[in-house]
Amino acid sequence: MKPIYLVDLTSIKDSAGARMDLRDQVTLPNFTWEGERLLEFDNPWWIELEITNVSRGYQVHGKTGGRYWLDCDRCLERVRLALETEFDDLFLPESISSQEEEARSFAGDELDLSATIMEAVVLQIPLKVLCASTCRGLCSVCGTNLNKAACNCKTESFDPRLATLLKWKQDKGGGDDGQS
């Protein structure tokens, strides 16, 4: 995967304690969320970074924020959401990072912040997204978006017990057309 964000360490690599502050923009890659729904970022996102040379590596503290699109859980319409998140990561040279589980690794004069940023963002995305708390969803029979139109199906509040009952009646040849 192409890195999302790389930091050039040249200006602080030779002096322990040196710090660089950055304000920038970042383009986040769209991906599939929870199986089949596409999570699309409204790019670019803003990003703020403080990177400190801690002699054996680099401490990164940062924030990022922006907007993104997901499908409503009930009606599948696109919903635009916003989030802001913070992250803190220690980067150590590849040779020693493997001994510290909490640390990420880097090589050369560059930090790849892709995983740091994407993990922080993904952790803030809600598992359930609704376009509105009152969303009426889709008709389970004809698929009509019930926020936009009404349909004539008789399943307004779909109750699985009712479906079982209807099926049982149909199997018996009784039907349920209200004329019996």
Write out the residues near Zn ion by the rule CB under 5 A: 72, 74-75, 131, 135, 139, 141-142, 144, 151, 153
Residue closer to Zn ion by CB (options 33, 87) is: 33
Beta carbon of residue 168, minimum distance to Zn ion (angstroms, whole number):
22
Beta carbon of residue 129, minimum distance to Zn ion (angstroms, whole number):
9
DSSP one-letter string for 18-33: -EEEEEEEE-PPPEEE
Beta carbon of residue 148, minimum distance to Zn ion (angstroms, whole number):
10
Residue closer to Zn ion by CB (options 16, 141) is: 141
Q: Would strands 78-93 and 58-71 be described as parallel, antiparallel, or unpaired?
A: antiparallel
Residue closer to Zn ion by CB (options 96, 141) is: 141
Residue closer to Zn ion by CB (options 154, 172) is: 154
Residues whose CB falls within 8 Å of the CB of residue 22, separated by 6 or more in sequence, listed in order? 7, 47, 48, 49, 50, 51
The residue assigned the tokens 């020693």 is: 96
Sign of the torsion formed by the C-alpha atoms of 121, 124, 125 and 127: positive
Beta carbon of residue 40, minimum distance to Zn ion (angstroms, whole number):
17
